[in-house]
Amino acid sequence: MKIAFIGMGNMGAPMAANLAAAGHDVTGFDLADVAVAGVQQAPTIAETVEGAELVITMLPNGEILRRVYADIIPVAKVGACLLDCSTVDVQSARDAHQQSSDAGLLSLDAPVSGGVGGATAGTLTFMAGGSDIAFAFAESAFEVMGQKAVHCGEAGAGQSAKICNNMLLAVSMIGSCEAINLGDKLGLDRQKLFDVVSTSSGYCWSMNAYCPAPGVGPQSPSDNDYQPGFAASLMLKDLGLSQQAAEQVSAQTPLGAHATQLYQAMVDDGQGDRDFSAMLLRLMQANSA
Q: Catalytic positions, please?
A: 162
Give the residue closest to ligand NAD by C-beta.
Answer: 9
> Shortest approach of ligand NAD to residue 34 CB, angstroms?
6
108 binds ligand NAD (CB under 6 A): no
Return the residue of 23, 31, 203, 269 that touches ligand NAD, per CB under 6 A: 31
Residue number with CB closer to ligand NAD (91 or 198): 91
Give the number of other CB atoms < 10 A from CB of residue 10.
11
For 82, left (φ over 0), alpha (ψ -120 to 50), or beta? Answer: beta
Contact 42, 69 (CB under 8 A): no
175 binds ligand NAD (CB under 6 A): no
User: What does the buried/exposed string (b/e) look like for 229-260 if buried means 16 or more CB atoms within 10 Å of the residue's CB?
Assistant: bbbbbbbbbbbebbbebbeeeeeebeebeebb
Return the residue of 80, 81, 112, 163 that touches ligand NAD, per CB under 6 A: 112
Give the number of other CB atoms < 10 A from CB of residue 189.
11
Name which of residues 43 to 72 contact ligand NAD (CB under 6 A): 58-60, 64, 67-68
> Shortest approach of ligand NAD to residue 159 CB, angstroms?
10
Q: Which stretch binds ligand NAD (CB under 6 A): 27-35, 130-138, 168-176, 257-265?
A: 27-35
Return the residue of 86, 181, 222, 260 that touches ligand NAD, per CB under 6 A: 86
214 binds ligand NAD (CB under 6 A): no
107 binds ligand NAD (CB under 6 A): no
27 binds ligand NAD (CB under 6 A): no
Contact 182, 190 (CB under 8 A): no
> Shortest approach of ligand NAD to residue 116 CB, angstroms?
5
CA 165-13-267 angle, 5° bins: 50
User: What span, in angstroms and rounded, lies between the C-alpha atoms of 118 and 114?
Assistant: 5
> Shortest approach of ligand NAD to residue 122 CB, angstroms?
14
Give the rounded distance of the alpha carbon of 136 from its chain centre: 22
6 binds ligand NAD (CB under 6 A): yes
> Coil, helix or strand for 266?
helix
Q: Applying CB under 6 A, what is the total number of residues that bind ligand NAD?
A: 24
Contact 240, 262 (CB under 8 A): no
Return the residue of 161, 207, 234, 246 that touches ligand NAD, per CB under 6 A: 234
User: What span, in angstroms and rounded, lies between the C-alpha atoms of 232 and 29?
Assistant: 28
- DSSP-derived secondary structure letter, 222: G
User: What span, in angstroms and rounded, lies between the C-alpha atoms of 146 and 149?
Assistant: 7
Return the residue of 3, 7, 266, 271 that touches ligand NAD, per CB under 6 A: 7
Residue number with CB closer to ligand NAD (45 or 259): 45
> Shortest approach of ligand NAD to residue 196 CB, angstroms?
31
User: What span, in angstroms and rounded, lies between the C-alpha atoms of 23 and 282?
Assistant: 47
Element (H, E) at 278: none
Residues contributing to the site for ligand NAD (CB under 6 A):
6-12, 29-32, 58-60, 64, 67-68, 86-87, 112, 115-116, 234, 237
